[in-house]
Each structure stands twice: as structure tokens, then as C-alpha cells.
Amino acid sequence: MNQAKKGRKFVLEELTEFAVNYAESLGAEYAEARFQRDIQESIILKNGIPEAVIIEENRGISIRVLVNGSLGFASTNNLRKRDVKDSSIKAYKMARAATKILHKKVSMDESNLGAARVEVKPRIDFDSIDIDSKAELLKEAYRQAADTAANKKVKIPGCILTLDTWKTEKLVMTSDGADVHSITPRAAIFTLITMFHPQRGTVQRSFDLGGTGGWEIVEKWNLPELFKKEAQTLSEILLYAEESPSGKVDMVLGPELVGLICHESSGHPSEADRILGREAAQAGETYLKADSIGLRVGSSLVNVVDDPTLEGSFGFYRYDEEGVEARKRVLIKEGVINEFLHNRETASVFRIESNGSSRAVAFNREPIVRMANTYLEPGDYSKEELIEGIKEGIYIKSFMEWNIDDRRFNQRYVGLEAYKIEKGELKERVRNPVLEVTTTGLWSSVDAVGKDLEFQAAYCGKGDPMQGIPVWTGGPHVRLRNVTLGGQYYA
Amino acid sequence: MRRDDVPPYIVDLALKRGASDVVAELHDEQRFMIRFSNNEVTIFKSYDESLVSIFLMIKRHRAATTVPLSSTSNLEKTIEDLVKIAKVTPPAELYAPLPEGPFSYDPKLLRAPRISLHPERLIGYVEEAINGALEEGARKTAGTLIATRGKTIIATSGNVHASQERSSLEISVRAFTSDVSSGHFVSISRDEEKFDPSEAGRTAGRIAKASLNPRSGNPGRFTALLGPLVFADLISQVGMVSSAFLVDTGRSFLADKIGSEVACSELTLIDDPTVADAYGARAFDDEGVPTRRNIIIERGILRSYLHNSATAKKFGVETTGNAGLISPHPWNLIVEPGEKSFEEILSEIDRGIYVTNDWYLRYQNYRTGDFSTIPRDGMFLVRNGTLSSSIRELRISDNMLRILKNIKEISRTRTWVKWWEVDIPTLAPYVVVEDLNFTKSTM
């Protein structure tokens, strides 16, 4: 580290510490300050042609305080000492004003807090790859997709493809001793691709790729090959997929869909702030109650976990925004609700210790209870064995449309790449099979779990203002017995 | 350097460094947010930011940045780095020079009414909303109050230098009478006079009370009465996908439909940021072009997409004053009113479903408009022109264009809607949609 960088880090530490100390001096019973800087480069490719390169630096400091059991939060991107002081005063005054409508005092649990430095070092720095090479990689990916489609006499009338690379630096300090400095580089791809055939209409596919690390992640994705395969699959769906059957069937779901289900119908309902009603007007509440630990919600084969410590994952972190060390959380154990996701505020209500689930997407966002990498733990079956065990059914590998009610109980997933299963073998493609099912109905119908764990990247939306936060969702293939297939998309 | 001088300074320097076209904006914003749940404040937040946005072109080579406002030397470095990036960025599809000013703007749109951001005043709004809901029978409430004051100063290489103030108040209130009975409503305004948190709370409370003891609804096709929150969600989707950029990238069910019938003949949708007292009022877009009233759908016919100068050049039309430097977007959507009141429309429905709110709208195919969304809060069976019983657990699974064409009634009663689920301020009526497809989870 050179002298200039050492100096900058010292100034930031001093400023962050000053914010905590000043808020305490005003009378806050708890104070937490977070300096965060995100520097991001985005390359946008529109229909195979570069649209623009966008560089964003989002940095500033936030101060969160507890005053008489009431929470205040102030953020500023003006980093002069007097601005930070003003923000501390503002947070204090707002918290105090809010005590007028406060019935239950907020407190922070007694978690062990970290004093640590965590840096994810990229093997290949993003800046060592020039913009032209990055853009050329995206163009090549698009070309592979377009050529593959053209060979099938299919057109790509629209395609958006973006590559985001960014580095997040955070300093978290609290009045009760947390002092964590972290540096995390991430890369992500987003695409929405449309395929068109004059007689068969259109089909669309959208997905994210994401991970923690340097340019080596992007290289590993092998985008040209990936887009070639995606175009091949989408062309075949467009040209050959036939109407989906309906009624009671057995079903195999691929990792992409299993991961989403884990996130939506296990991760979100397990968020303790939802259980306490804190998100009621936005992302909603949950079908689980504070006393739902021990409640059976699925078959004994269902083990859903959330683990921020997976190295290289999109949702990776070692310490959360309150300075609590991250750990693996077992949300559903053998089909039974085992643990909720907590920050220090909710843990205090439940009289337990936080399990390190407090996250914020930027300096100007309050830390709230979030998932990191949520997945179904693998079992023993190969994909082939799962399919072999089905006389008549459906295999859904990928999806496009999904949603779930705000109590996280009624959900719908519409398949994109999907096949009929007959006598234990994959048969013809089917179009838009609809799985519309309750959470307990879905998890209870799991009768076999594959051993092929895979992850996908996503941005989880929650909070007000909205905080789209990087996560992985994952799982192996699973088999469901006797579930109802919705059949036609709309008649 | 004076704040007013920052954007022109950036433009001049970027031009000297080799840019052909430059837009520079300085945004100052002060925002307060109070989140509440269980009838109490959960957190009181503030955001205080000064941001500089720069978009520059060297003909077809385009680059943009947003950074915190800092010292002149930092700004100079930002500009120099951005010019270097633009030079090595591969060329875009076309070069559309920035629109040439100077332009004249409506002075009423440049100034914003003064609103108080005093913490006690803002807490008072929340108290009014909670009390309103509780007085109507709610057991608990949750929601968000947002108060914003800001100013944008813009300069462009097209002889634009202007500034515009913003102010806004909004509250979103969800009231509960049980775990599964709730109502939701909003109040948004550019000024304090028309801001009514108490009525938002009362309306949410009334819906929550009426929705007590819901039973599981049955799937099928029904005549549906959609409340303003639901229709704002749907029609703001139409507004957003009228962006020419989204049309161009396959994300719009309005593609290739200019001049075609896309909705019932009673539906007219306008993007109009020139209404001075509207929440979404705005004098100029992100290229400094004066905003204007744009008719998107006129009596069911798709008249126009929304454009910035780049999409306009590609489509062979004039910009509509909706830049977004990459993607144009609507500012302030208005659905023209019908003739009947809510009560008259309700009284004419023999059998149907009244949906008061929805969320989580996702597409199977943006190009075709196949999607689903989930009704939440009060949902009611309508029998012989009155609300007969509260129902739950249904999903709207249909197609945007089919819904637009199946609209049979539009109310004259309209409400301004913007909340967590609806990004664009939208003046939305009640509508009756025939033959709307409702589905339901099994097991």
C-alpha cells in the first residue's frame, strides 16, 4: 500500500470513528457509522452494438443511532467533517422526534462483534483488461447467439447485454466495538434476449451471472460458448416446444428453479423483520410466526440453508453491516423450520444472538435483514435417476415468469426450457408449463433430491428505498410427486 | 466555484478535451423518509446528496459517469478520464448530436413549492395516517412517508444552462384488520396543500375493514373492477414500455404497433410533465429539451413512443423530451377520465371481482405482454352491483394487450398513485376489464 492510500484510509477511519463518537456524545445509546464506496463500470451492448460505457462512484457515510429506543439514520456523500457532524446531529434529532410514535423500544443484541480486515483479492484486476477487449467479448457472445439462431432460421430482434464490474469498500464501526474494513470486487452479467420466428412468434430468456472476485470470474463464464448454447436452446423452444399438458403429474425441477424457490419460499419467509411486521407495507409479511421454529413445512429431504461465507459467491461477506461475523444459517432442517435470519435488532426481540444477516447495498441505505446465498442442500440422486423414477411427468429446467404473494405462500413459476417425461425418459419440449402451488404443498411433495448442486446469481429486492442486493440462489435437481401442472398459460 | 457554474465548467472542459457533445448535471437532494409498522415508527431516515452526472460523446463513442460533487481538481480528473474512456469505447449504432438550444422553459415548472422538512412536521403526517386508519377500524398500520426537496442544474454543449427545483410529499399506508385482511392507499403531492395522509390512512382502513374474514377465491375468467392502485401498476407498465429504447431491445409489447389499435377506444394515455402542480412536473429532460405533453395512446390507438435524441434519430422522429440519456422514460402519466363514478360502475357489475391492489408483476414475455401479478389487500366478489364478500389467494394471469382491449369502463374518479410498486406518478381511474383471467395455487 502506498503512502497516499494509507493516508486516505486513515482519514476515512477517523471520519467514521468521529461519526460514532459524536453521535454518542449527543446522547445516543447506540451509534453505528458505515463508510462505503462502490466504484462500478458498466458496458451496455444493445442488439450486438456497444451503447455506452458508464462509470459510477457512489460513496459516502451513514450514521445510524438509537435514542431512547428509537432508530434514526442519516447519510451524506459530503465527506467534510462538518457534514458528517451535521448528519450525526440529524440522525439523533430524527430518532428523538420518532419517539413520539414509539411503543416498543428497539435495542441491539449482545452479539460478539468483529474487529477485522477482509479483502477479496482478484487474481486478474478488472482495470488490467481494456474496455475494448471487454466490449469485444460481449460482441462475440452476441455474434455466437445470432449465428446459432440464424442457422435455425430464427432472428434475434432484441438483445440487451450488460457487463458490470465493481469494487465495494466498507468501514463499519459501532459504539459497542465493531470495527470491520472490507474490500470486495464483484462482476455480473445481465441479459434479456428475444428470439423470433415468423410462424412461431417470440420467446425470451433473461438471466444474471455474478460472483465475487476479479476478471477471472468473467473468463470462467465463457460467454461466447454460453450464449451459443442459450441461443440453441431458445431456438429449439421456439421452433419445437408444444403445448404443456395439465393436471396431476410428477415433476423434476432443475437447479435454476430450485434455487429461486429456496429464495422466495424459504429465505424470504424466514426473515425475522418480516415476521415482526417491519416490511408489511412493502415486501410484505410471512406465513411464519415468531413461534414457527419446529413447524414442519416440507418432506424430511428438504434442507435449505443460507450461507454468506461461500467463497466466490455473489452474496459473499465475512462480516455483516453491524459487524457480526457471518455464518451458515440452516433455515429448514429435514423439512422443519429451524432458524430465522436475524440482525441485531430482531435478535434482541427474539432474545438470541444475531446470525449476521444485516446488509445494505450502498452507503445511503439502512442495513436490514437479507439473504446471501440461499440453496437446497444436495442429496444422493443423479439427474438421470430422478427422471428414471417418473412414469409420466415434466422436467422444468429454466423459467422466465415467477411471483409469490406477500406472505410467501402462493407462488407461480412458468417454465421456459421444459420437457415431457415418459417412462423414465426425457421426451419432447413443452412450452410454458405452469407450476402454481403453495409453499408447504411444494416442499411436502419433494421425494428425492439430486447431488448436482449449482448456483445462479440474482439481485434480491427488499427495503424502502429498494435495495437490490447481490445473492446466489441454488440447489440440485429435485423430484416432486403428484403436483398440479397449470397447463395452458392463458386460454 | 458557484454551484450554478459547475455544469457549464464541465461542458467547456470536456469540449476542450475532445468531446463532441456533453451534458453535465448537478443534483442536490435532501430527502427524509419515515418508515412505520405496527402503529409506530420503525426508523426515521435522511439522505443528503450532491451528485454530478456527465454524459459525453465523441461522435458515436459514448461514455457517462455519476460521481459525488467534490473539488475542482477531482472534477477535472473525472472529465479527463471520461474522455479517455469514450475514446476507447467502441462506436455506438449512430451519432445523434445533442439538441441545440437555447430553449425556453415554463417558469412554473422550474420552481417548486416550498415544503417543510421539519422532523416534527413529518412525524405529524405519519401520526395522521396511522390515526386515520385506526379510526376506520384497522388494528395495525405500516407504511412510508417520503419528503424531498432538490434542485438540478443542467448545462449542455447544445447551449443549455438551466436549473429546476423539485419538491414532493408521498405517503403509502397499509392497514390491517387481521393477518390476511388489509387495505392499502396512498397520497402524493408536489405541495403541502393537496397532501392528505389522513385520507390515505382512512381509505386503507376502510378497505381493511371491508376485507375481514376473506374466503379462498375461485379461479376463472371474471369481469374485474380494478382500483386505481392496480390500474396504475398496469398502465405505468404501458408507459414504461413505450420507451423507444425498450421497444428497440425487445422489452415492449408495443413494438411495431404505432398507428394500431392497442386498447379499447375509450382509453387515452398521456405523459404530461407540464402540469405544474403535479407530482411528476418537470421543465426539461436529461438533454435539456423542454418537456411536453405526449399522447401515447389516443382513444385506443398507439400514437407515439417516448424518445430522447438518439432513439428519435433511429426511429426517424423528433425527440419527445423524455431523455433518459440511454433509455427514455415517462415522467407523469395521466389516464383520461371516463364519465361514471366508482359507485355507478360498481352498480352495473352483475358478477365480478373487485381488486384494490396488486404487486409482484412479472412477464413471461415482454414482447407479447404475457404476465402475472398478485392481488393483495382487499379483494371482493361483486354480486348485483354491490360488494358481497371478501376473497383472497387469486392471481391475475393474463396478457397486457388483451387487458387493454377488454377495458369496458373507465371512471371519472381518478387518484394520483406512486408507491413502492409503482415508480412513475400516475393519475389512474377505476376500470372494468371483461374476461380477466384469475388463477390460483393448488395443494
What is the average pLDDT score of chain B?
97
Q: A491 in a domain, yes or no?
A: no
Q: Is the pLDDT confidence value at A199 over 70?
A: yes
Looking at the predicted structure, is the pLDDT value of residue A339 above 70?
A: yes
Our CA-based measurement puts residue A311 at a distance from the nearest CA of chain B, in whole angstroms, of 30
Q: What percent of chain A has pLDDT over 90?
A: 96
One domain, residues A264 and A207: no
Does residue A196 share a domain with residue A282? no
CA distance readout (Å), B411 to A249, B243, B315, B355, B357: 44, 27, 35, 15, 17
C-alpha cell at B238: 404501458
Residues A171 and A317 in one domain: no
What would the pLDDT profile of A5-37 be if each residue is shown by its tens digit? 455 666 889 999 999 999 999 999 999 999 999
List all residues of chain B from 376 to 415 with a beta carbon under 8 Å from chain A.
376, 393, 395, 397-399, 402
The model's pTM is 0.97
Q: Is residue A11 part of a domain?
A: yes
Residue A491: pLDDT band with limits 50, 70, 90: very low
Amino acid A376: pLDDT: 98
Sketch the domain layout of chain B as residue ranges: 3-208, 214-439
CATH of residue A173's domain is: 3.30.2290.10
Band of the pLDDT at B442, cuts 50, 70, 90?
confident
Q: What are phi and psi of A270, to 5 degrees?
A: -90, 0
Q: Which helix (H) or strand (E) holds B137?
A: none
- Phi, psi at residue B384, to the nearest 5°? 50, 45
Please give the residue range of the domain that contains residue A145.
3-224
Statement to judge: residues A211 and A251 lie in one domain: no
Mean pLDDT of B124-152: 98
User: For the structural domain made of B3-208, what CATH number should be given?
Assistant: 3.30.2290.10
Look at residue A119 and tell me if it is in a domain: yes
Does residue B41 belong to the interface with chain A, where contact is any CB pair within 8 Å? yes
Q: Which residues pair with A242 in a beta bridge?
A: A430
Q: Looking at the domain assignment, is residue A237 inside a domain?
A: no
Alpha helices in A74-177 (DSSP H): 81-98, 131-151
Contact B41, A278 (CB under 8 A): no
Contact (CB<8Å) A91/B371: no
pLDDT, tens only, A202-261: 999 999 999 999 999 999 999 999 999 999 999 999 999 999 988 999 999 999 999 999
The verdict on residue A490 lying in a domain is no
pLDDT for B359 beyond 70: yes
A446 shares a domain with A318: yes
- Identify whether residues A215 and A344 lie together within a single domain: no
Query: Nearest to residue B184, comparing CAs of B171, B170, B172, B195?
Result: B172
Residues paired with B215 in a beta bridge: B391
The verdict on A464 touching B (C-beta cutoff 8 Å) is yes
From A403, which residue of chain B is nearest by alpha-carbon distance? B360
pLDDT value for A289: 98
How many Å apart are CA B289 and CA B105, to the nearest integer? Answer: 9
pLDDT at residue number B186: 98
Query: Residue B92 and residue A50: Cβ atoms within 8 Å?
Result: yes
B394: closest CA of chain A, how far (Å) = 9
For residue A232, being part of any structural domain is answered with: no
Contact A75 B48 (CB under 8 A): yes
The answer to whether B185 and B200 have CB atoms below 8 angstroms apart is yes
The 3-class secondary structure across A1-53, one letter per residue, is CCHHHHHHHHHHHHHHHHHHHHHHHHCCCEEEEEEEEEEEEEEEEECCEEEEE
pLDDT higher than 60, residue A488: no
Burial A75-89 (b: 16+ CB within 10 A, else e): bbbbbeeebbbbbbe
Predicted pLDDT of residue A486: 82
Phi, psi of A373 (to 5 degrees): -130, 105
B363-390 pLDDT, tens digit per residue, is 999 999 999 999 999 999 999 999 999 9
Closest residue in B to A48 (Cα) is B93
pLDDT of residue B27: 98
Q: Quick check: is A347 in a domain?
A: yes
Is the backbone of residue A408 left (phi > 0), alpha (psi -120 to 50) or beta? Answer: left
Give the rounded percent of residues in chain B with a pLDDT score beyond 90: 99
- Residues A186, A279 within the same domain: no
Note the Cα B105 to chain centre separation in Å.
23
> How many degrees, rounded to 5, is the angle at CA A381 between CA A380 and CA A385?
160
Average model confidence (pLDDT) for chain A?
Answer: 96
CA angle B428, A286, A398 (to 5 degrees): 80
Q: Are A127 and A174 contained in the same domain?
A: yes
Residue of B nearest to A102 (CA): B40
pLDDT tens-digit map of A445-485: 999 999 999 999 999 999 999 999 999 999 999 999 999 99
Domain presence at residue A34 = yes
Q: How far apart are CA B403 and CA B373, in angstroms?
A: 13
Of the candidates A168, A194, A224, which is a domain's last residue? A224
Same domain, A300 and A386: yes
pLDDT tens for B21-51 read: 999 999 999 999 999 999 999 999 999 999 9
pLDDT band at A367, cuts 50/70/90? very high
Residue B116 has pLDDT above 70, yes or no: yes
- What's the domain count of chain A? 2
What's chain A's length in residues?
A: 491
User: How far apart are alpha carbons B331 and B272 in whole angstroms?
Assistant: 7
Does residue A312 surpass a pLDDT of 50?
Answer: yes
Give per-residue pLDDT as tens, B271-305. Answer: 999 999 999 999 999 999 999 999 999 999 999 99
| Confidence band, pLDDT 50/70/90 cuts, at residue B443 | confident
Tell me how far CA of residue A6 lies from CA of A2, A13, A36, A181, in angstroms: 6, 11, 17, 13
Q: Is A150 on the interface with B (CB under 8 A)?
A: no
Residues A111 and A52 in one domain: yes
